[in-house]
Chain A
Amino acid sequence: MIARYQTILFGVLLAASVAMGIVLWQLRERAHQRLLQGQDSAPTQAPEVAPAEPATLLVANDADNSLLSQVQTLPLPKDPGARARLILGKLMDLYAAPDAAHPVPGGSSSIAQVFLLPAPGLSAGITTPSSPAKTPEASGPQLAVVNLTGAFAASHPSGLEAETLTVLSICGTLHANLPRVTQVRFLVDGQPRPTLAGHADLTRTYLATDAVPTEGAHP
């Protein structure tokens, strides 16, 4: 015969176990919901609609080894690095078009990143008396580091003219839209690479003025 107090104790413990199981189940559900909510909110942020602005592109032409200035209207962000990447992406889209005068596959995804840094050199630390409040970083010349994708370099047509025009059009386009960019360096997948596709040197620092067509370039 089971004592009465033991029956009551068993009933209380059973009720407590069931209650604890229910609480535990609810906590698990809440944690699951929190995780799902966290995953949803992490990468998505609605982009601001930037106003359309004119951008100057120096478009290469294989037929006469020239760079032609072309103005396109694009929605451009305020951040200079993102701005440079978008403009270069548009340039690469033109080259990827079927009727391009300088056909290069890849399109806008060929430009992985563009970093803007203070340019090394004498003029980097010079401030003019008219703008004493500006720091050298804010007003001095800049070095643009263009990180290309490996797929772009691998699919780029091999040739002195083709590779040189691609490099110079990138340098010229950057300087035309961001005049403080005076020097440009290139990386491929974040690493230095000897040449673009076997010819044009990617290890050197290019001066933006290299892209200006020289006298006698068109015989």
Chain B
Amino acid sequence: MGPLESDRRFYPPPSQGGLIRRLCLALASFIVALGSIVAAQAPPVPAAPQPRFVVVLDAAHGGDDPGGKLDTQAEKAYTLSLSVKLRSLLNARGIQVVTTRESDTNVDTNRRAEIANHANAQACLSLHASQTGSGVHLFASSLAPAPPTRLPAWKTGQSAYVTRSLAMAGILNSALQHAGIAVTLGRTAMPTVDSMTCPAIAIEIAPDRAAGSTTKTGLDDPGYQASVAEAIAAAMLEWKTEAHQP
């Protein structure tokens, strides 16, 4: 007795109900076969995609707005060179960077915030330089913290991110102090930062004056510049680690 005869014995004799049942079985096996083919052709599903981490670097001033007057150059030139240096350091650490300007051009305050907000960044750093004070000054927005809303007001967009901005300032403070750089923390009202919808800090680099003496390490000192940039890059790497923690 062949297999066909065995099959015939297994199935009931053909009748109207049996025919419908056989048709349903055939349809089901066709769907299962089709599903297995599609599954075999589909690419493998990645386990857990790494979230995107973007840092926005805003070199303040530019074009016909020179900013403050430093020892040997204008603030706009200093912030641009620091932005370029920081971008290299962050890229080397696998961090994606968006800059508000790449040359000596005047970018409007609102445009800077627009660039930062469209980048959907996890950190926004507004870079400044000054002859007054000592070390690095870190400023978070002075806006009061507020819960996030679907349509935040343009001038107070930062209010939903103030708490995270202060946390990021703490990490920057630790990294700079670890590098032996004096840091002062503060809050300020600055149109660019107040409109950013990301954790944002304004970083102002000043000459490093030793406490109680008139000697200072100038802004143009390459070693000082490098140590400040390295410390900021290290802080961003730590911020990235914290941001990716569940």
Contact = CB atoms under 8 A, between A and B. Distances in A.
A173 B109 CA distance: 30
B184 A158 contact: no
Contacts of A201: 189-191, 194
A199 B190 contact: yes
B132 A62 contact: yes
B188 A198 contact: no
A159 interface: yes
Contact of B130 (A160, A206, A216): A160
A85 to B, nearest CB: 23
A218 interface: yes
Nearest to B191: A201
Size class of the contact patch on chain B: 20 to 34
Contacts of B155: 204
Contact of B137 (A65, A103, A158): A65
Interface stretch (B35-43, B64-72, B86-94, B228-236): B64-72
Contact of A218 (B134, B177, B184, B194): B184
Nearest to B74: A158
B202 A204 contact: no
B187 A210 contact: yes
A2 interface: no
A92 B187 CA distance: 22
B137 A160 contact: yes
Most buried by B among A63, A200, A203: A63
Q: Interface of chain B, helix or strand or loop or mixed? A: mixed
Most buried by A among B61, B109, B133, B185: B133
A160 B142 contact: no
A152 to B, nearest CB: 16
B206 interface: yes
B78 interface: no
A219 B65 CA distance: 32
B191 A219 contact: no
Contacts of B100: none
B58 interface: no
A157 B189 contact: no
Contact of B186 (A65, A158, A203): A65
Given A160-B137, A160-B202, A200 B184 contact: no
B75 interface: yes
Most buried by A among B61, B75, B137, B188: B188
Contacts of A158: 67-69, 75, 130
Interface in A148-201: 157-162, 164, 167, 194-195, 197-201
A157 B202 CA distance: 18
Interface of B: 61, 65, 67-69, 75, 109, 128, 130-134, 137, 139, 142, 155, 173, 177, 183-191, 194, 202, 204, 206, 209
Given A157-B68, A219-B177, 18 more contacts: A62-B133, A159-B132, A159-B133, A160-B128, A160-B188, A160-B204, A161-B184, A161-B206, A162-B132, A195-B191, A198-B68, A200-B190, A201-B189, A206-B189, A210-B189, A216-B185, A219-B173, A219-B185
9 contacts: A63-B133, A157-B131, A160-B128, A167-B189, A198-B67, A201-B189, A201-B190, A210-B142, A219-B183
